[in-house]
Amino acid sequence: MTKEFIIGETIRVVALPPYIKTAEPMPMLRPPDTIRIGEEGIVTDRRPGGYWVVRFDRGTFLLDSQYLESITSEPEPPPESHAEPSLPTDFDRSDS
């Protein structure tokens, strides 16, 4: 079963394939040590066969989903509607 990612999502490399394929119009094979386990990248496209185009610091490569995991982001702060109401100050009073 292939993992699904969202375009623009940050991912992490969990294992290295036997070789790395560049995502250029004329792809080239690179040695697996071109990227490192634990390196983070951004998903930029999806290709047939469970391959993802991922942009790293050293280039953009095609990787099978089995070598990637999603990085969960930190929880977002609650929306303003759930924030505690502020207490009135002297400026809020109207002495009419």
CATH code at 43? 2.30.30
Domain count across the chain: 1
pLDDT score for 82: 52
pLDDT score for 55: 97
The answer to whether position 94 is within a domain reads no
pLDDT score for 95: 58
pLDDT score for 76: 45
Tell me which residues of the chain have a pLDDT lower than 70: 1-2, 72-96
The answer to whether position 18 is within a domain reads yes
**pTM, 2 dp:** 0.70
pLDDT score for 13: 96
The answer to whether position 39 is within a domain reads yes
Query: Domain range for residue 16?
Result: 10-72
Q: What is the 3-state secondary structure (H, E, C) of the chain?
A: CCCCCCCCCEEEECCCCCCEEECCCCCCEECHHHCCCCCEEEEEEEECCCEEEEEECCEEEEEEHHHEEECCCCCCCCCHHHCCCCCCCCCCCCCC
The answer to whether position 61 is within a domain reads yes
The answer to whether position 65 is within a domain reads yes
